[in-house]
Structure 1
Amino acid sequence: MEKWSRFDHNGDIKFGKLSSDNKTVTVCNGDMFGAYTETNEVLAVNDIKMLSPCKPSKMIALWNNYKALADEKGLSYPDKPLYIFKSPTSFAGPNDHIEHPTNYDGDVFFEGELGIVIGSTAKDLDNTSDAKNAIFGYTCINDVTAFGLLKNDPNFDQWTRCKGFDNFGVFGPCISTGLESKDLKIKTIINDSDVKQDYPVSDMMFTTEEIVMYLSQNMTLYAGDVICVGTSLGLGPMEKGSKVTIEIDSIGSLTNTYG
């Protein structure tokens, strides 16, 4: 397993590999998703600013992909993944501030999720083996949503609007490779102690490989693209000033403040 990060060191944007204890990072040159070399430069994590671990061309967010949440809401299981897009200006990283949108006075929800990071171009895949090979690794996601806007127009559900505000697509702190996604669990913790979500990835309707395969049949996926695989029970509104942490073992903790 390797943990890849992107960071700012004295104004220079770099990438590298985190140590097993997450205390240092070995700086790399080249392309995280292609040819790269490790340098002799090792930096303390406390001396850098962690950024979102890659720069996606797009972020795709699945809806209704967990059985427990679908059962609670009385939703049928879809035949293929259902999804929307989050805007590029929504992308944010560890410790970035999640702002309450201007001209909106409703609740803003956290959604702790697993994120798939694509490692190579994928188009029209017809099997899960090729889809697995297209997956670079996994990251933590907070798929922030202003649900009060969803039904603002009775004729059109405004998913893109309520999920697309600046800093509403939070991911990081790193990309972990070599993981079996079905073995992972997602936790969302408010203010360090209040566990709001604690659910297994194994409850998904579609596996990560199936998700990549199906989406590649609708659009070309590029290295660095991020897929939010959906959330489960426990999602809820954030209070202004609260600290929100998405935690996945073997990946790490993604922490942000809201308000």
Structure 2
Amino acid sequence: MRQAHLRGRGPHLPPLDKVRQYDVEPGYVAFTMPVPKRLRVIVGETVVADTVNGVILHESDHIPVYYFPLRDIRTDLMSASGRLTVDPFKGEARYYSLKLGDEVIPDFMWRYAAPGRSGPDIGDHASFDWEKARWFEEDEEIFVHPRDPFRRVDTLPSSRHVEIFLNGELIADSRAAVFLFETGLPTRFYLPLDDVRREFLTASDTRSRCPYKGIASYYHATVKGKHYPDLAWYYPEPVHESAKIKGLVSFANEFVDRVLVDGVEQARPVTSFSHGSDRGAAHPLSTSQ
């Protein structure tokens, strides 16, 4: 029996006490948590939703999703699009298009009016197509998806010796790296540009976004005539939580030959990046190697 006076000790995750698993899919969970942040969704100059009473939906095999109370949404700008989808855990979703003047954004908002199979009751809430709007937590714009409160990012300077090899060449050698530890992902090694053999790198036009780190720019690598597109990246202006990696270069552990830390070879990770990114087009090397 859990004791109330000890609830602040150990893993402090009270919302998980109410999580339901589904008999039809053992291990599958879906639950909501209140969000204390002010959340806004903006299209052009129009604030479509603005709330301090939002919830975040956590669901197995999905990224987290913000849902807004209907009373905090400009529902006067929405009209039913006729699209319906059915989810075994959340029920039936009805979609709505957004009309701003002469512009119509189809299927911009959706709502699960009734829960499915005792799923989370979000019937008086709705959410929006992330890619069709700008999203803000308080006054800071966020990218890709909501920041997951169960995910942690630590950026720690390290004097451990990091060596990276590609096509038989030592392309980076550093004792001044920043190690980035992110829940559920392999350690990333961010190195000063002075510790990277820049003759192998050329700038890429590729950009990507991360809710925990910001907007990344990329480098191609070419070693002994072999081209590796978008093999390395850096954050020119990371979000403040990841400020220590500003301007440092990281290489995709998944695609280089070897990564040594203090002479110990690191296991090659298998991630969504290995097979194509979670969102958007696949990484070029995920299909060429």
- Give TM-score scaled by structure 1 length: 0.21
TM-score (norm: length of structure 2)? 0.19
Structure (1/2) with the larger strand percentage: 2
Higher relative contact order (CA 8 A, sep 6+): 1
Rg (Cα) greater in structure: 2
